[in-house]
């Protein structure tokens, strides 16, 4: 799961996979509100889930995303 999430972050936010661990919401140009929703959409499609809005709002970096996804994927 983690590798796929990193790939999604890399593609949506236009950064190298090696940089994904170090970015946060609005720390790169592509991670604005629109980019955030694109990332959520990609995650939901990839994993066949629907993420609650309360959780969507919490995600501001990779580690938070991975923690939240565990609730939906297990």
Topology adopted by domain 2-73: 1.10.1200
50: exposed, middle or buried (C-beta count within 10 Å: 0-12, 13-18, 19+)? exposed
Token pair belonging to 34: 């629109």
Q: Tens of pLDDT along 13-30? A: 999 999 999 999 999 999
Query: What's the pTM?
Result: 0.94
| pLDDT of 74 | 73
| pLDDT of 14 | 97
Query: Which residues of the chain fall below pLDDT 70?
Result: none
- Which one-letter DSSP state was computed for residue 61? B
Nearest-angstrom CA–CA distance, 59 and 49: 16
Residue ranges of domains in the chain: 2-73
Nearest-angstrom CA–CA distance, 18 and 34: 23
Helix boundaries (H) for 1-74: 2-13, 33-47, 53-58, 62-73
């Amino acid at each position: 799961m983690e590798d796929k999430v990193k790939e999604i972050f890399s593609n949506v936010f236009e950064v190298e996979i090696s940089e994904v661990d170090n970015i946060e919401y609005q720390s790169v140009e592509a991670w604005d509100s629109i980019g955030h929703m694109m990332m959520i959409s990609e995650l939901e499609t990839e994993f066949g889930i629907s993420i609650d809005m309360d959780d969507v709002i919490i995600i501001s970096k990779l580690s938070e995303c991975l923690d939240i996804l565990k609730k939906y994927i297990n």
